[in-house]
Amino acid sequence: MTQIEHIPCLIIGSGPAGYTAAIYAARADMKPVMYQGMQPGGQLTTTNEVENFPGYPDGVTGPEMMMQLEAQAKRFETDIRSGFITKVDFSEGVHKCWTEDGHEIHADTVIISTGASAKYLGLESEQHYLKLGGGVSACAVCDGFFYRNQEVVIVGAGDSACEEAHYLSKLCTKVTMLVRRDEFRASKIMAERVKNTANIDIHFNTETLEVLGDGQLVTGVRVINRSTNEESEIPCTGFFVAIGHQPNTAVFKDFIELDETGYIKYAQPGTSKTNVAGVFVAGDAADKTYRQAITAAGTGCMAALDAERYLAAKGH
Ligand code: NDP
């Protein structure tokens, strides 16, 4: 029979939200156990240089920053484990969680910091340059700066794509926006702003066929206009994908309230509380607006402090 492990604090996910929660929880003597999840370090491990996290005047690479956060969490004896949580039962006072190999954990508090994953088109060439850090990105705020005074292409037609295209238009000489249908999905005001920006060129009914490059760096994209079936090439050094994010929250859906797109709903704005007492959320799993490492870290801190107060009120 497998032994059930009872712990004061379980942290699920290892991005900036999870590690910050771990640092605070460990220093408050809550003996946190962290399961790192499918992608240890989270989304930042797929970015290159991070220049906007305060305290790094010379910048830092995403993977390096995550290693430092992990080291800081370990310094205070966070029990960091590889593996992920595949099932939960939050129907009773103690929160039951199971790992992929069937290990059962009963946690007094749970901090969900499972993040979100950017959606990509799934083209081989896109994945090739994404992995190399050669010019494919899903975050204009993170990476736009590297393409200043250059020409970029962005795919998508929602609010995110419009916001990011507008952001890029201030840095780049030209932004070409690829919209797969003949209209935007974005709100009218966001779409109008894009349409009224001189250096944003919008191609409707247009899909990406291939990201072009020299093997190392992106040099353009090959696209097709679906209404004319005409193929063409657009030169660019950066290819931005802004077709939405998928929050990693499916495992919690039977117990935790999610919004219509799968993001966890805060039960009480201004806190990290979910609808289940003792279960808190931090980072992108509940944030479709800001999605920054620094905001994730901030909410990680909030979740640990809220969990600590919850335990204290229970007399732990
Ligand atoms: P959305 O799901 O709203 O939009 C995704 C866009 O990507 C759609 O236009 C979709 O096209 C397009 N798309 C999806 N798959 C592909 C593909 N394979 N090829 C080409 N295009 C594709 O995601 P967002 O991230 O934009 O927004 C998520 C939520 O966050 C929304 O509710 C939005 O309103 C909100 N938000 C609000 C902001 C604000 O108010 N400031 C800023 C950012 C987001 P199609 O339309 O054809 O389906």
Instruction: Output the 3-class SS for the chain.
Output: CCCCEEEEEEEECCCHHHHHHHHHHHHCCCCCEEECCCCCCHHHHHCCEECCCCCCCCCEEHHHHHHHHHHHHHHCCCEEECCCEEEEECCCCCEEEEECCCCEEEEEEEEECCCEEECCCCCHHHHHHHHHCCCEECCHHHHHHHHCCCEEEEECCCHHHHHHHHHHHHHCCEEEEECCCCCCCCCHHHHHHHHCCCCEEEECCEEEEEEEECCCCEEEEEEEECCCCEEEEEECCEEEECCCEEECCHHHCCCCCECCCCCECCCCCCCCECCCCCEEECHHHHCCCCCCHHHHHHHHHHHHHHHHHHHHHCCC
| 209 Cα distance to chain centroid | 26
Judge whether 198 and 114 are in contact, CB under 8 Å.
Answer: no
pLDDT score for 51: 83
Judge whether 300 and 16 are in contact, CB under 8 Å.
Answer: yes
What's the gap in Å between 70 CA and the centre of ligand 1? 32
Pick the residue whose CA is nearest to atom 39 on ligand 1: 159
Tokens 């040099």 label which residue?
219
Domains, the chain, with CATH or none? 5-117+245-313 (3.50.50.60), 120-241 (3.50.50.60)
pLDDT score for 75: 97
Which candidate, 74, 59, 7, 16, places its Cα nearest to that of 40?
16
pLDDT score for 2: 66
What's the gap in Å between 162 CA and the centre of ligand 1? 9
Structure tokens at 269: 């704005």
Residues carrying an active site annotation? 139, 142-143
pLDDT score for 1: 47
Residue of 153, 155, 159, 202 to mutate, ligand 1, most atoms within 8 A of C-beta: 159
Judge whether 221 and 233 are in contact, CB under 8 Å.
Answer: yes
Residue of 123, 153, 160, 226 to mutate, ligand 1, most atoms within 8 A of C-beta: 160
Which candidate, 269, 212, 262, 253, places its Cα nearest to that of 236?
212
What's the gap in Å between 184 CA and the centre of ligand 1? 9
Whether this prediction's pTM lies above 0.85 is answered by no
pLDDT score for 191: 97
Query: For the segment 273-298, what is each residue's pLDDT rounded down to a tens digit?
Result: 999 999 999 999 999 989 899 999 99
Which residues contact ligand 1 via a Cβ below 6 A? Answer: 121, 155-161, 163, 180-181, 185, 243-245, 288
What's the gap in Å between 124 CA and the centre of ligand 1? 22
Region of residue 199 (phi > 0: left; psi between -120 and 50: alpha; otherwise: beta):
alpha
Which candidate, 228, 175, 232, places its Cα nearest to that of 209?
232
* Inter-CA distances, 234 with 152, 154, 178, 202, 301, Å: 9, 11, 11, 12, 44
Q: One digit per residue, pLDDT tens: the chain, 316 residues?
A: 468 999 999 999 999 999 999 999 999 999 999 999 988 898 888 776 788 899 999 999 888 999 999 999 999 999 999 999 999 999 988 999 999 999 999 999 999 999 999 999 999 999 999 999 999 999 898 899 999 999 999 999 999 899 999 999 999 999 999 999 999 999 999 999 999 999 999 999 999 999 999 999 999 999 999 999 999 999 999 999 999 999 999 999 999 999 999 999 999 999 999 999 999 999 999 999 898 999 999 999 999 999 999 999 998 8
Tokens 């199971």 label which residue?
98
Q: Judging by beta carbons within 10 Å of its beta carbon (0-12, 13-18, 19+), is residue 114 exposed, middle or buried?
A: buried
Query: For the segment 201-241, what is each residue's pLDDT rounded down to a tens digit?
Result: 999 999 999 999 999 999 999 999 999 999 999 999 999 99
